């Protein structure tokens, strides 16, 4: 049942090239992005995305995409905050909820709160769930059953669906930055192969695990869409290895967290070579100047330009920066997984956590 893997989480990490291909096959049709459910983005002026945990992190990646590609303003909210805050839902707003299980109590309550005030959309894995049934339009992520409490393949497929919806919205709205549909289809189609190549960093992650397992705190840094990924790396690590981890936007480093840096602090820097690369590198140098142990996750070009003085590197395949969050989920997962395995924690069923949080 674990297909030769030690844990469901490992199996699910390794399934990602295939589960990603499955969702792309369902959403791409003959050079077009044609989701299995339809939503017309033309009358929408604003998008509010509501979710919990990893699904909320997927929402914060989607914010970058919807704003960049579709020029649609996006607000992301944690479901337990949204449902009780009496949020202003302006006319022309669409409210999207994201949930793997489709049964998360706060997310379901947030959806119910939005009903009647806004168009509602759901991005869900479990097709026959309450959230899938109650939303006006439900987009399936088709990741298959996810058993590990730490969400992996569902996160990657959520991202893929959200990117495709952002492109669809961009095309519907005639956003100049959307690019052509054919260009997007080509980029998306290359993704499963790239994710499969990204899995090659696993040996390195396993080799580093004993060092990370010794740490009491680990910092994750990123800029742009890599900032949410820093949150994903920190959340995965906390959940299954019980090591305290925090994520910061790289630019926030000198506004507080740099005070934590000393030679006992591993700092994971997620930095593909994009337009923000040099800025992230200069933050990384500030960490190294204070003897922080930098683990740089980058591509070959980044490794060539910024390896000097880093403790370790994970070299990822080169990818269009827009798609990088999907690829960089893999090292975030593998670092957490191997650190937890090294510590001997219960990876699939970490203490105090449930797969589906159906009570608030």
Q: x/- string (CB under 6 A) for ligand M6R, residues 236-275?
A: ---x------------------------------------
Please provide residue 126's backbone torsions phi and psi, each rounded to the nearest 5 degrees: -85, 110
CB 234 within 8 A of CB 262: no
Residue 96 found at the interface with ligand M6R (CB under 6 A): no
Choose one: 144-152, 182-190, 206-214, 219-227; the region binding ligand M6R (CB under 6 A): 144-152
Euclidean distance between CA atoms 143 and 125, whole angstroms: 6
Specify which residues 203 forms β-bridges with.
Answer: none
Is 130 a binder of ligand M6R (CB under 6 A)?
no
- Per CB under 6 A, which region of 35-43, 86-94, 149-157, 305-313 contacts ligand M6R? 149-157
Near ligand M6R by CB under 6 A: residue from 24, 28, 47, 52: 52
Radius of gyration of the chain (CA): 20
Kindly tell me the burial class for residue 239, based on how many C-beta atoms sit within 10 Å of its own C-beta (0-12, 13-18, 19 or more): buried
Closest contact distance (angstroms) between CB of 123 and ligand M6R is 9
Q: Is 355 in the active site?
A: yes
Q: How far apart are CA 27 and CA 113, in angstroms?
A: 29
Nearer to ligand M6R, 313 or 334 (CB): 334
From residue 203 to residue 242, what is the string marking binding to ligand M6R with x (rule CB under 6 A)? --------------------------------x---x---
Q: How far apart are the first and last CA of the chain?
A: 32
Q: Beta 137-140 vs 119-124: how paired, if at all?
A: parallel
Q: What share of the chain is helix, strand, coil (3-state, %, to 5)?
A: 50, 20, 30
Rule CB under 6 A: choose which of 17, 35, 53, 317 binds ligand M6R. Answer: 53
DSSP code of 118? B
From candidates 100, 130, 283, 339, binder to ligand M6R by CB under 6 A: 100
Residue with Cβ nearer ligand M6R (322 or 357) = 357
Q: Which positions are annotated as active-site residues? A: 355
């Amino acid at each position: 049942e674990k297909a030769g893997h030690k844990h469901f989480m490992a199996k699910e990490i390794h399934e990602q090239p295939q589960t990603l291909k499955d969702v792309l096959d369902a959403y791409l049709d003959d050079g077009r992005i044609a989701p299995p459910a339809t939503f017309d983005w033309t009358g929408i002026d604003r998008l509010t995305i509501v979710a919990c945990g990893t699904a909320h992190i997927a929402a914060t990646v989607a914010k970058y995409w919807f704003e960049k590609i579709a020029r649609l303003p996006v607000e992301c909210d944690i479901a337990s905050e949204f449902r009780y805050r009496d949020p202003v839902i302006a006319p022309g707003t669409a409210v999207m909820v994201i949930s793997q299980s489709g049964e998360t109590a706060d997310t379901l309550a947030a959806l119910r709160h939005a009903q009647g005030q806004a168009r509602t959309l759901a991005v869900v894995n479990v097709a026959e769930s309450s959230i899938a049934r109650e939303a006006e339009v439900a987009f399936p992520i088709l990741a298959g059953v996810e058993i590990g409490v730490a969400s992996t393949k569902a996160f990657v497929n959520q991202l893929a669906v959200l990117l495709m919806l952002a492109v669809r919205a961009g095309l519907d709205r005639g956003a100049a930055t959307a690019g052509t549909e054919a260009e997007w289809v080509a980029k998306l189609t290359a993704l499963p192969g790239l994710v499969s190549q990204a899995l090659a960093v696993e040996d390195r992650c396993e080799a580093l695990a004993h060092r990370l397992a010794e740490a009491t705190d680990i910092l994750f840094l990123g800029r742009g869409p890599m900032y949410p990924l820093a949150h994903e790396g920190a959340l995965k690590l906390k959940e299954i290895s019980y090591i305290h981890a925090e994520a910061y936007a790289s630019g926030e480093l000198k506004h507080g967290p740099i005070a934590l840096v000393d030679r006992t602090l591993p700092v994971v820097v997620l930095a593909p070579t994009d337009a923000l690369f040099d800025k992230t590198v200069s933050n990384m140098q500030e960490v190294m100047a204070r003897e922080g142990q930098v683990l740089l996750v980058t591509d070959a070009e980044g490794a060539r330009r910024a390896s000097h003085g880093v403790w370790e590197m994970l070299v990822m395949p080169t990818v269009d920066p827009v798609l990088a969050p999907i690829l960089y989920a893999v090292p975030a997962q593998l670092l957490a997984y191997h650190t937890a395995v090294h510590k001997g924690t219960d990876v699939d069923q970490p203490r105090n956590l449930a797969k589906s949080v159906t009570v608030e």
